[in-house]
A and B are shown apart, each in its own frame.
Chain A
């Protein structure tokens, strides 16, 4: 019985170790999108910023406070995406932290998968140890 449990743990651990990163990579590939998160300005402020914006000035700042660099986000809400008329290459994601918004980042998935992989490896090792300790021994 103990050997059987050890065997299950060995297989389950190996499966977790392989599947978790694969699943994370698949989710990222299917739904991940690189965006520049912004803390959005009020609509009145955006209207004013757009009216006073001049060529050469930064564009993201017209719409909100931008993050330092683009971030890969899983399934960003399409309604919150902003592609500014002033620069069509930019994809901004309005995230209202004051309203409790915190979109899932691809990095979070990756780190969770890494921890799951480690947990899987530990489970496999424990299962292998249980199997080995419970092996039938020859009576001499």
Chain B
């Protein structure tokens, strides 16, 4: 009888601890409005530094800011990438490059989130980065900042809690199965520097 009591107490305490841990995790949504998303990529080419951007992303961040844990899933439409030259954008979307028809999304799904060493405002996120239909494991340091509700309201953000997230990392095109056309080899870098700054809010986006 005493054993059963102790077992029941243990299970109850365990469930309570789990429930408390879950309570600390907040779900933030990405994709309320293009103005909250700014994602860029940069590539060195013979003629110029090519810079492209998109303001279209969708996803979700479940974060426990106090403990530096959580999960992330994010996707970006290839068709939304713009470099400032329409003809170049069409080339980028074409089958020889990112093949937007066959692989319309670039995505990231986390597998592990842990506190970044020596930083309270960042986490290390490891997950699968998928581009051109090929997934590669990627580990990035992501900075975050909780936005005070009154500051968000003053700037015209929808009601709810807001989180500012930023990171940058390198992506190899060839590692994701993008074979540069012969004419571009040696003239365009195989590596893109990707930068991301976005705001995620607790209110669900209207399109969901």
Within 8 Å by CB of A102, from B84, B145, B166, lies B84
**A23 contacts the other chain (CB 8 A):** no
Give Cα A83–Cα B20 distance, bound, in whole angstroms.
47
Q: A4 to nearest B CB, angstroms?
A: 37
CB–CB A65/B47 < 8 A: no
Within 8 Å by CB of A52, from B53, B85, B145, B156, lies B145
Give Cα A101–Cα B155 distance, bound, in whole angstroms.
26
Q: Select the stretch in B35-43, B107-115, B176-184 that faces chain A.
A: B35-43
CB–CB A52/B151 < 8 A: yes
Give Cα A61–Cα B38 distance, bound, in whole angstroms.
11
**A33 contacts the other chain (CB 8 A):** no
Q: Which residues of B contact A49 (CB under 8 A)?
A: 164
Q: A98 to nearest B CB, angstroms?
A: 5
Give Cα A68–Cα B35 distance, bound, in whole angstroms.
22
**Chain B, Cβ-Cβ closest to A48:** B155
Q: B47 to nearest A CB, angstroms?
A: 5
Q: Select the stretch in A10-18, A39-47, A119-127, A132-140 that faces chain B.
A: A39-47
Q: Which residues of B contact A100 (CB under 8 A)?
A: 82, 84-86
Cβ proximity bits A67-103 to B, threshold 8 Å, 1 near / 0 not: 1100100000000000000000000000101101110
Within 8 Å by CB of A67, from B42, B85, B86, B199, lies B42
Q: Which residues of A contact B166 (CB under 8 A)?
A: 61
Q: Which residues of A contact B124 (CB under 8 A)?
A: none
Give Cα A70–Cα B166 distance, bound, in whole angstroms.
20
Give Cα A24–Cα B78 distance, bound, in whole angstroms.
36
Interface size range on B against A: 35 or more
Q: Which residues of A contact B165 (CB under 8 A)?
A: none
CB–CB A51/B195 < 8 A: no
**A37 contacts the other chain (CB 8 A):** yes
Give Cα A105–Cα B197 distance, bound, in whole angstroms.
25
Q: B5 to nearest A CB, angstroms?
A: 51
Give Cα A71–Cα B49 distance, bound, in whole angstroms.
8
Give Cα A72–Cα B197 distance, bound, in whole angstroms.
25
Q: Which residues of A contact B38 (CB under 8 A)?
A: 39, 41, 45, 64-65
Q: B169 to nearest A CB, angstroms?
A: 13
CB–CB B151/A39 < 8 A: no
Give Cα A100–Cα B87 distance, bound, in whole angstroms.
11
Q: A103 to nearest B CB, angstroms?
A: 8
Q: Which residues of B contact A51 (CB under 8 A)?
A: 151, 154-155
**A2 contacts the other chain (CB 8 A):** no
Q: Which residues of B contact A101 (CB under 8 A)?
A: 84
CB–CB A107/B47 < 8 A: yes
CB–CB A68/B42 < 8 A: yes
- 17 A-B pairs with CB atoms under 8 Å apart are A37-B51, A39-B38, A39-B51, A44-B157, A45-B155, A47-B154, A48-B151, A51-B151, A51-B155, A52-B164, A61-B166, A65-B53, A65-B197, A97-B83, A101-B84, A105-B48, A107-B49
Closest 5 CB pairs of A and B: A102-B84, A42-B35, A48-B155, A65-B40, A97-B84
